[in-house]
Homo-oligomer: A and B are copies of this chain.
Amino acid sequence: MANNKGNSLIFYMFELNTSCRAVYILIEELNIEATIQKIDMRKGEHLTDDFKQISPLGQLPVMIDNGLKLSESSAILCYLVEQYGNEEQQNKLMGINDIKIRAKIQMALYFNVSRFYKPVADWLRPQIFRGSRPTEGECLKLKEALRQLNSLIKSYSKYVAGSDEPTVADIALFSSVSFLQVLNYNLLQYNSLWNWLKRLKKSSLELPIGKSLISLQEWQEELNAKSNENDC
């Protein structure tokens, strides 16, 4: 049974947006009954008057839950765990019983927003919206962001906030990395990152993460991206 039977979470997402996909993975993991409203940014659906009533800047993702309207995917991730997770899930995904782990989860989420997410999005955008290749500058910024994520993971033993189980920070960062993997980006050179990705796929998040990868692969086939190795 869904965790919020009777409640009314509405989640607005663009399927090819990394931040939206992170929230979607969590919704599946927490088994939240949600109305998913797909907004296709390629068709400009985020710019319609109807959608601007919900998100004045045309920003995605956005959720509305019992009168609370929230944007910023990391804030949504934290809210959903607090609102719908049981104590075990809250502890595992957000470290509610350990102030140091909790602080490191926040640090990794802010690292994603301030340093990692944008280089990935800038690299993806031309491929998603125009079917064209990213520029050399975009490639270099992505490489630097990957080097930084690799260092962050290397400094801990298992997951990005130093915990034994994956947290919301792993979900947020995985969501970005999964696009690179599906587009055959050469991630093997980032050894700690690569091993983290392998661990994550066999972790307690195996199911929602596997499902997320499958739906991305379908998009990749649609896109008919070239299938040989891609490290730019």
List, in ascending order, chain B residues with CB within 8 A of A79's CB.
99, 102-103, 106
The residue on B at minimum CB distance from A147 is: B57
The residue on B at minimum CB distance from A104 is: B70
The count of identical subunits is 2
Chain A residues 62-115 with CB under 8 Å of chain B are: 68, 70-72, 74-75, 78-79, 82-83, 99-100, 102-104, 106-107, 109-111, 113-114
* Chain A residues touching B, range: 20 to 34
User: In the complex, are the beta carbons of A57 and B114 less than 8 A apart?
Assistant: no
A106 CA to B102 CA in the complex, in Å? Answer: 14
User: In the complex, are the beta carbons of B68 and A106 less than 8 A apart?
Assistant: no
Which A-B residue pairs are the 9 nearest by beta carbons? A72-B110, A75-B106, A79-B103, A75-B107, A72-B107, A113-B113, A68-B100, A113-B114, A75-B110
